[in-house]
Structure 1
């Protein structure tokens, strides 16, 4: 029972502190706190520097602060939004000076009669008329500077939040396009094989099932283990080998240590999709797709070269023909997720199309994944020599 009471007390205390924190961060409370701190500062300065007692300093500065409050809120609630924010700078400046000229004499007259029996205060008023006006105007001007700074901070914060929300929304949209794009291409191939009653159809279903499980259940995070992404690429190329005609050279070579590095999901697959859709499938003669992934502790270098059909589009350079959604998306995703941390080079010739992507990753490696080759053609080979 005592444990329950202790937990209840802690919960109530935490709830109270939360409510207190929320209340104290409301505008009236932090404004009041600011004015109170300013008042204490003025009293201490007047008491130490002037010839007045502590009680007299409190009374005198209380009047000053009341007039400062009036002038500041006239400025913030009326002059600032009605004139300064609308670009009427000179009008605003003249009105601010005018307000100071009106309220400074009112304050001095009030203090003069309230402290009629205190000659030192009356002498201070008569000898420092310009100083009183300047201090009033300075407080109003400082409130303007503070308001401008706060508005700037708020606008930057809103801009940052908006940009982050826009980026996340765009990433979700881009990613949602990748999955149906791949599924559409694969189901077309599966449909063609089932019509022929080809024995390869069940293998394709199994591979597709593994890939869809990865896309549906593991690609919802912003980063996935590089190991799983590589396994996805292998499954994809195995599937392509099953449905491609004989003689097509398909290879994937992985070099380096693959451990706990993380990568944005489905970042490399659009390049392979493009190689088959617009490269190998467009060739009449035997074609090839050769991919090499060189893995470093904090980076990967993806090199892909494929045979090129005469109509293969250069989608990464801006055009967007039908079926080219994947590569357009990967360029945009790279800009959003790896801005300043990637380099993408495209090399094109009459017969080949090559992609070289350098991407910064983390963290450092732990275990080594031996180099492997996917494909029916004997030994793997380097893309760029």
Structure 2
């Protein structure tokens, strides 16, 4: 049986505040107090003022809810604007005379009040129509806010789904490359195979249990890259110069999306170390500057033409571009440069947490 978490007073408050009837009650109380302040000027007794305001409130509420429950959904919601204004005017001209008749009858003992009522009938019509229009504006504003909230929720869910999909593509892609490395060492019956298995185990643990988070500590991502680079060093041996430099100690507050840098490493080893390169290299550097994280990777390049490998990118690089657009909109810079002997990637991330 799941334990029930007790609600604090703030949670209980918001649960009640979110109920529509409470908004209506508070608005009508506010409206009644405002009208009481305006109308009770001392010349009439308080019971008389409360009675007339009660009658006014009854008819105004009838007009407002007629508008909200029937006229507005039937006409304005269907974009029949002309018919809506005709029906709203008709409702006002129907309700207001009934209100005036009841008020005139209640004012039987107050001749001055009756004369004032008859003299200002047009003001009552205009005021009631204003209240009806105000209720329409509030309803439209509330509906707009509701739609915006739904839109934001959908965008958030779509973003999370897309990021999960992108990471699901990255993981099998990298795992495939790593298993190829293990297969190559197994064929050679290398003594380095046990070390590869241990490092691969650490990497799989990271991928399975920690990569589901939106952000992870930079230290864990670096540990993952160190294991990756160690596996590649085992594979290539003295043929490759592999180096990773980063500031020590690392700030604990720095976080990055999981597996964000791996596609760059995969491309660097895939295209930077080949049989046509006698002494290849992959150099990686991380720098932290206040709110910026700079990632730089440079690798050797074969003289054999293979097309624009980095610019095409394949699954890994195209995914990382999309992830950057989703997670760092207008807060990242990605530059991919090429010269006759090398490729270089410069990535700058800007975020408040950094």
- TM bucket (normalised to shorter chain) is 0.7 to 0.9
Within the candidate set 330, 346, 353, 2:336 is matched to: 346
Structure 1 partner of 2:323: 333
How many residue pairs get aligned? The number is: 346
**TM-score, normalization by structure 2:** 0.88
Structure 2 partner of 1:38: 31
Structure 2 partner of 1:67: 59
Structure 2 partner of 1:54: 46
Q: Trace 1:161-200 onto structure 2 (pairs within 5 A).
A: 161-200=153-192
Segments of structure 1 that go 5 or more residues without pairing to the other structure are 1-10, 365-385
Equivalent residue of 2:57, what SS?
A: helix
Structure 2 partner of 1:76: 68
CA-atom RMSD in angstroms: 2.6
Structure 1 partner of 2:3: none
Structure 2 partner of 1:238: 230
2:307 & 2:194 partners in 1: Cα distance?
31
Structure 1 partner of 2:281: 288
1:30 & 1:166 partners in 2: Cα distance?
32
Contact 1:257 1:296 in 2 (8 A): no
Give yes or no for the alignment of 1:356 onto 2:346.
Answer: yes
Change in Cα spacing, 1:23 to 1:223, as seen in structure 2 (3 Å) is closer
Give yes or no for the alignment of 1:220 onto 2:212.
Answer: yes
Segments of structure 2 that go 5 or more residues without pairing to the other structure are 1-5
Change in Cα spacing, 1:25 to 1:276, as seen in structure 2 (3 Å) is closer
Structure 2 partner of 1:259: 251
Structure 1 partner of 2:291: 298
Contact 1:301 1:359 in 2 (8 A): yes
Give yes or no for the alignment of 1:99 onto 2:91.
Answer: yes
Higher RCO, 1 vs 2 (CA within 8 Å, ≥6 residues apart): 1
Change in Cα spacing, 1:35 to 1:340, as seen in structure 2 (3 Å) is same
> Could you tell me how far 1:184 is from its partner in structure 2?
1.0
For residues 92-136 of structure 1, the C-alpha deviation after alignment (integer angstroms, 9 at most, x for no partner) is: 122211211121112112222333333123112211011010011
1:98 & 1:37 partners in 2: Cα distance?
27
> Could you tell me how far 1:205 is from its partner in structure 2?
1.1
Change in Cα spacing, 1:29 to 1:254, as seen in structure 2 (3 Å) is closer
Q: Trace 1:196-215 onto structure 2 (pairs within 5 A).
A: 196-215=188-207
